[in-house]
Structure 1
Amino acid sequence: MGSIHAQEDWSWWNETHGWEPGMPGWRSFLIISPGYLGPNALPVPSLTKGVLETGKSFTLSADFHFRSGDPTQNMAGRFYYPFSDRIAIELYGVLVEYYSMSDEVRDERAARDRDGRGLATGDLYFSTLVQLVKGEAFPNTVLRMTGKTASGRRYDAARYTDSPGYYFDLSFSKEIPFQGNQWQGLPFASLGFYSWQTNDMDNLQNDAFLYGGGMELSNEKWTFTNSLSGYSGYKNERDKPMVYTLTVKRELKKNAIQFQYMYGIRDWQYQTFKLAYSWQWE
């Protein structure tokens, strides 16, 4: 009885995608690429700025992703712990996500989610960051090495990849004092490599050039950051996402609040508003 009911439940999907007995399984219809998944599946990594953060912190954020056919909201967390001024670790990921896809978006992604809405948990990322150069004639330099787990759920709904990945990059920056050292400018740039597993039996891995750059302006209380970042895969399956990011951070007595706006320029078709609160300690 269970197999009969399962066949009846997914008959709409078989008809929509032209699946017949003997054809490859439904997983082969999915495209593991940022342009065919939810906003948190393969996002453009946040940029490091050539300098390690000095304090420990835990950040909780509420993210609101706007896109016609796939409005998404989620809660995310980040833990950052420096062991010294030379090395730190970072853990981050989406704690819970609520999505609501239209029939058109659901079918384009070959998602097996009839009503196109539900809850999902995200992937866990873990990073090691190493300060290679700081305060020298050469620009500040940080090496970041990050692994992506396959902990995300709702692969059948095209929300996450159900596969591992990794990226590493080098970020560079140089301080520029303004107005008698009351404000400090920090131009920064990064270059790296991003790789993730796909379900394409001929090309089981997509490799991408990772890049980004921007400008930060800060004083004791405020930090303003503008940046452009992305990565460029080789399969030409909407795998070249590029985003613009504006971040405003306000330091409190011990903690901090942050507002962030992200605009998808290419292959990541969302506009995102993020509100975050950070607990900070030395």
Structure 2
Amino acid sequence: MKGLYLLITVFFIQVLYSQTLIHHTTNYFGPNANPVPEFTDALIPENTTLTVTGDYYFGHGDQTLSNNLKVEIPLIPEKVSVKIWKTLVEHYSVTDEIVSRRAMQKNSGFATGDFYIQTRIKILSEKRSRPALVLNSTLKTASGSDFRNRRFFNTAGYYFDFELGKSFLFDNSFIEEVRLVSDVGFFSWDVQTPNLNVQDDAIMYGFKLILKHKNLSLENTFSGYNGWIKRVEDYGDRPMIFSSRLNFSVRKTLWFAQFQHGIKYFPYEQIRLGVQIPLEKLTPDFFGEN
């Protein structure tokens, strides 16, 4: 009889565990799981570009080292492109408090991230009296690893956004160009809920100020998204961040350093170093222009 009671107890524990709600937000996962989407300067490149970054996320009980590989291929130069990126590998180390809060199984380890595939289309070219307008359509695949330790979601997502950008040029001034960029869109991802398929939908937004002087430029970006789910008080469905990035151009190669601060529901500070390399020989030439 005692054996029967034990089996029943174990069964109910398993049922309760399986019914545990996982909070699919940046407040309960690693920094690369569902970050605030990045946006550019509302321009599509003329040539294929390769961007490699190294990131260090720290603070709030989670330290993460990761790298990211991104390739943008213009199908029609400066008009239509395809962009693909992925966190190749990350190493994380978290405190016991974070392990308990996220229901993780260990304090440290390695994980690999999701593939993102994006199509970019220029809707409007920039003129003297109008800004440039670019439409981005992005698919987030469920290809990341280590869901048990809350590093990446095991669900897919997508987003559509518009980038609007306008430059203002100044003669005989230290700041030669000021570029203003705004971003607005719709972001959606699947949320794992027992016995029910739920989709979290969010409005994404962003504002960027770019100051340029010769081969130097400074980008300041404020961005975030607002979802609708509020299961608990600190569910974290509305992350908000601010970043400042310094770019240094050497010939056609761009080197950059960035600091990012999590204002709300993104419990990380970030230091990023990266390089963007043009790959002219790998640029498609469908129309025989080159």
| 1:1-282 superposed matches below 5 A | 20-25=13-18, 28-83=20-75, 84-111=77-104, 113-114=105-106, 116-136=107-127, 137-180=129-172, 183-201=176-194, 202=196, 204-236=198-230, 237-282=235-280
Residue segments in structure 1 that go unaligned for 5+ positions in a row: 1-14
Q: CA deviation at 1:220?
A: 4.0
CA-to-aligned-CA distance 1:39-68 (integer Å, 9 cap, x gap): 000001112222223332111111000123
Provide closer, same or farther for how the CA distance between residues 248 and 139 of structure 1 changes in structure 2, counting only shifts above 3 A.
Answer: same
Aligned partner letter, 1:128: T
Q: Distance in 2 between matches of 1:133 and 1:219?
A: 26
Residue pair 2:186, 2:203 contacting (<8 A) in 1 also: yes
SS of corresponding position for 1:33 = coil
What TM-score do the two structures reach when normalised by structure 1? 0.88
Q: Distance in 1 between matches of 2:45 and 2:15?
A: 55
Q: CA deviation at 1:24?
A: 4.8
* Alignment coverage as a number of residue pairs: 262
Q: Distance in 1 between matches of 2:132 and 2:172?
A: 22
Residue segments in structure 2 that go unaligned for 5+ positions in a row: 1-9, 281-290
Q: Distance in 2 between matches of 1:208 and 1:194?
A: 5
Q: Distance in 1 between matches of 2:279 and 2:251?
A: 11
SS of corresponding position for 2:14 = coil
Q: Percent identity?
A: 29
Residue pair 1:30, 1:158 contacting (<8 A) in 2 also: no
Cα RMSD for the two superposed structures: 1.8
Q: Distance in 2 between matches of 1:161 and 1:104?
A: 21
Which moves more between the two structures, 153-162 or 244-253? 244-253
Q: CA deviation at 1:29?
A: 3.7
Q: Distance in 1 between matches of 2:27 and 2:191?
A: 13
Aligned partner letter, 1:121: T
